[in-house]
Structure 1
Amino acid sequence: MKKLLQLLVIMIPLAVFCQSDTEVYLFDLSTENNQIQLTNGKNISNNEGYDNQPSFQYENTILFASTRNGQTDVISYATDSGKKRWLTDTKQGSEYSPTSIPTTKDFSAIRLDTTGLQYLYRYRSGKGKALLKDLVIGYHVWNSRNILVSFVLDEPHRLVVSNFKKNTHLTMDTNIGRSLHNIPNSKLVSYISKKNATWEIRSLDTKTGETKKIANTVPNVEDMCWLADGTILMGKGKALYRFDPKKDTEWKIVKLFDKENFDNITRITANKRNNSLVLVAEKEKELKPTLENIRWIAGNWKGEAFGGITEENWSEPSGGSMMATFKLIVDGKVNFYEIETISAVNNSLLLRLKHFSNELKGWETKDETVDFPLIKVTKNKAIFEGMTFESVDENNMVVYVAISQKDGATSIVPFYYKKTTN
């Protein structure tokens, strides 16, 4: 058992921390009229290799882990000036997960030494001091200046509350995820429980140890952040989801980053004023806009949407195009049909479709089509203006469709499909 734990200490941090080509992106955030707007996005790390785990030290100062010269150090970024400043330079190791310590100018970080030792350190003026040497901490959040909530590497991973005044370290739950956050307007902390097949966001009272379910996560997503109004954000792929525990029953997509050159969103954080949002994602690699590169769309697909059953059948590429038929069945009756094509046009791709009633009466005029010009093609996505196809795996696909609402807003509706053999 001791040897296995030692192996976990060495191997798990490497698996967690050594991601390839992640970047940190900053957006201006607006939440007026219950609508989320993200504008003026920019890559603030702009660095080859690992850039991750951002947090706000102050309203206008972001800390994150960034790789340089073969090691990972903590860097700060000033949102008002764009200036960067390295805060650590540890030759014997690397730092991860920088987190501000409340009511101080100090921050803490996970230090992984070249010897394989992994401790939580406190940093002040570039100098670090180990805080805990009895717990192998992977992730953490300060609930107050003296109360620390940690993801502790173990079998299984443990949720531990450390009280530095009382020198106690109590396990509150097990089999948890890495995302730990203070819940706005409360003294509670949220964490991700992975005990069940459907992961849960739960709250923890650090004084009593009481935990309560808040909501299910977006499927298989563990990174999240809270906004000041008590809503939760989670990212998956290129989509940003929102959930209000007070009134929502399901997650809603509030932003699809179809034009941005990143994918696979993970960490998300916002400052307290909620005018800045930071997220981490992987750089996106574009492919040539050819039918061959989106051949994975071909097949017979079935799913659910708009309170009914959807069917979408795409042909293999031939003759410079792919063709599909679509129908929506509600309460056992066809609601409407579509005919769709994706054609090679002017060294790009163009998606066209026409709608028909259940009696095959066209919605559009005789020569009119609804057109979706291509934005780009990636390894697992075909992104058109207003419609994105995403390959989840060989037998699962999601189609995100932008639908205009009566109030002028646009909602993103996901169609979850499974490939069928008939």
Structure 2
Amino acid sequence: MQRYLLLLSFLTTLYSFSQPNTDIFLFDLSTENGNFELSNIKNISNNEGYDNQPSFLNNNTILYAGTRKGQTDIVKYTIPYDSKVYINLTEGSEYSPLKIPNQKAISAIRLDKDGTQKLYKYNLRNGESEVLVDDIIIGYHVWYNENILVSSVLEDGSMSLYTTTIKNKKNDKVVAKVGRSLHKIPNTNLISYISKESDSLWEIKSLNPTNGKTKFITKTLPKTEDMCWLSPNTILMGKGYKLYKNNNDKDWIEVASLKAYGITNITRLAVSPDGTKLALVGEGGKISDSEASNSTKNKAISDAEKIIQTQLEAYNNRDIDAFMATYTKDIKLYDYPEKLKSEGQNAMRESYNTFFKNTPDLHAYIKNRIVIGNKVIDEEQVTINGKIYNAVAIYEVENGKIKKVTFIQ
């Protein structure tokens, strides 16, 4: 108990008092022929409070820590649909969500109200969680593979670099005085970390988690630690409103200024697996009408599909008002082929309101979606009170709202 009490003030400072009003900005990224070009900016969090620590689940999905109702929860943002879903329901605050390799799950650090901090695993299908690591206080982490974790661990008022073998729950300390930025170096068996052994000169180093060997790569920008890898030989860092790259040598080269967008105090950076999108954290941010238009010009999403995605998000968030706002007043629900189950908003609201209140783990996962004109056919896997059900829903949309739903179970 005393261990947690001693750390509580440090943790509170780390995750509470130091939280600025940040947002996550998404850009299309082109690095062909050695160039660096950003376009189609979008503020994907667009939320008052702390939105931070983005990572890519895949090329079309971003995970991040977002503020909701006074705490920080895990957000899943789907790029093609411009949609957000909170995937967990806990009393603690979650940070640093990352995909666990070869699993349909993510890891995140949970800070409970009593100051207890543990690394948890969250099932992507239903949001259920279980403890992964609780015998060291992990501040930041990255997966080397599904069984080996590299983390910055809080101890003695600073952070040390550890490796953890999940299967046998073995923790090994590598070095002391490290930063928060941990990354798998593309196409290698190495992890990069920030060494702060010298208070005045921070360095980017590599670690081979299988043998513990470390190696110097290059110096950071002065007093800057957030970075990502564009390629096995190219690092990206942000400072103020500028972005810089380094090709594993002494010189940092400015590649972009975000001053025109009103974005400053750039911190966390993440690049999609295919290298075509950049997510970054910053403060401020303003987007002109022309930029907003450019950010959506390549979206080939129909109005029918968009309203179905909106109702799915509301369903997973158990938000009855947002859910019912996607349906017409005379909405009809059928069991296949034409057995009427419910008619009208009032009957549907009463039924679903009770259902939402009694199903805290409710989550629908879309396995497949087909769009034909004003009809959207979803193959769904739904978690309800610990049980998983498979179903097909056929939605019919009229004037921007759902007029009819037919269920096949």
TM range (shorter): 0.5 to 0.7
Find the aligned partners of 1:54 and 1:284 in 2 and give their Cα distance: 17
Deviation at 1:7, TM superposition (A): 4.6
Q: Deviations over 1:334-374 (max 9, x none)?
A: xxxxxxxxxxxxxxxxxxxxxxxxxxxxxxxxxxxxxxxxx
Asked whether the 8 Å contact 1:177–1:191 carries over to 2, the reply is yes
1:157 maps to 159
1:9 maps to 7
Asked whether the 8 Å contact 2:185–2:232 carries over to 1, the reply is no
Superposed counterparts of 1:10-159, under 5 Å: 10-18=8-16, 19-90=19-90, 92-124=91-123, 125-155=126-156, 156-159=158-161
Find the aligned partners of 1:240 and 1:253 in 2 and give their Cα distance: 6
Asked whether the 8 Å contact 2:188–2:232 carries over to 1, the reply is no
Which amino acid counterpart does residue 190 of structure 1 have in structure 2? S
Find the aligned partners of 1:24 and 1:113 in 2 and give their Cα distance: 24
1:356 maps to none
Find the aligned partners of 1:254 and 1:151 in 2 and give their Cα distance: 29
Which amino acid counterpart does residue 210 of structure 1 have in structure 2? K
Which amino acid counterpart does residue 17 of structure 1 have in structure 2? Y
Find the aligned partners of 1:11 and 1:222 in 2 and give their Cα distance: 23
Deviation at 1:145, TM superposition (A): 0.3
2:211 counterpart (196, 208, 211):
208
The SS at the match of 1:157 is strand
Percentage identity across paired residues of the two chains: 47
Larger Rg: 1
Tell which has more relative contact order, 1 or 2 (C-alpha 8 A, sep 6+): 2
Superposed counterparts of 1:393-408, under 5 Å: none
Asked whether the 8 Å contact 1:9–1:118 carries over to 2, the reply is no
Change in Cα spacing, 1:133 to 1:70, as seen in structure 2 (3 Å) is same
Deviation at 1:176, TM superposition (A): 0.3
Deviation at 1:284, TM superposition (A): 5.9
Q: How many residues align?
A: 280
Deviation at 1:229, TM superposition (A): 4.7
2:268 aligned with 1:270:
no
Which amino acid counterpart does residue 29 of structure 1 have in structure 2? L
Query: In angstroms, what is the RMSD of aligned CA positions?
Result: 1.5
Which amino acid counterpart does residue 195 of structure 2 have in structure 1? S
Deviation at 1:199, TM superposition (A): 0.1
2:166 aligned with 1:168:
no
Asked whether the 8 Å contact 2:219–2:250 carries over to 1, the reply is no
1:183 maps to 185
Pick the structure with more helix per residue.
Answer: 2
Q: Deviations over 1:88-119 (max 9, x none)?
A: 121x2110100100011100000001111000
What is the TM-score when the length of structure 1 is the normalising length?
A: 0.65
Find the aligned partners of 2:192 and 2:31 in 1 and give their Cα distance: 22
1:349 maps to none
Find the aligned partners of 2:65 and 2:8 in 1 and give their Cα distance: 19
Pick the structure with more strand per residue.
Answer: 1
Superposed counterparts of 1:195-344, under 5 Å: 195-196=197-198, 197-245=200-248, 248-283=249-284
Deviation at 1:282, TM superposition (A): 1.2
Find the aligned partners of 1:250 and 1:129 in 2 and give their Cα distance: 44
What is the TM-score when the length of structure 2 is the normalising length?
A: 0.67
Find the aligned partners of 2:233 and 2:12 in 1 and give their Cα distance: 34
Structure 2 spans left out of the alignment, 5+ residues: 287-409
The SS at the match of 1:274 is coil
